[in-house]
Every structure is written in C-alpha cells, then in structure tokens.
Amino acid sequence: FRGGAELLFDGVKKHQVTLPCQPEPWDIRNLLKWIKQNLLKERPELFMQGESVRPGILVLINEADWELMGELDYKLQDQDKVLFISTLHGG
C-alpha cells in the first residue's frame, strides 16, 4: 500500500499473506473482499467502491497495471505481488 493508502491499514505498507484454501483459484475480486475483512482498519469507503477499488487507487500486479491483467478477474498465482497506490491527495 502506497500513496497514503497504507494509512487505512494502520500505516503498514507491506503485508505478506497466505490466503486460505478454497475450491476455486483466488482472483483479485476475492482478494479485495479478503483484504476488506482482514486487513482494512478504517474508512473502507476510501479504499473500495462496490466490489472494486475506488477510482484513484492504482492497482499493480507484479509491477504491471491490472487493466492489462484482467482487473478483478485476474487469477492470483503463488508469489504474486499486488500493489495498491492512492493517487488521491488532499489540498
């Protein structure tokens, strides 16, 4: 989490997680639900909108824009690195 997004997660920028086993492969959609339930500490409306991240949150998967990877439908692989960067700034 960068660009201020980490403030919603007790200021912790890096989380290494092991996701629980489930019958279907994990995708970003399910990862976001898991993050909201397990990591997000405050003001979920600043991180999520519906089942996705809110506008202004850049998502990178292994340093590539998630729009190139299938966004919410991207199937997570072992050792993937997912980065959430807030591009919103107060004034």
Question: What tokens does 87 get?
Answer: 């591009």
51 with 29: CB under 8 angstroms?
yes
Output the CA angle 53-6-64, nearest 5 degrees.
55
pLDDT in tens, 41-57: 999 999 999 999 999 99
Q: What is the pTM of this model?
A: 0.89
Give me the domains of the chain, ranges plus CATH numbers: 5-86 (3.10.20.30)
77 with 69: CB under 8 angstroms?
no
Give the mean pLDDT of the chain: 92
Question: What tokens does 91 get?
Answer: 């004034």
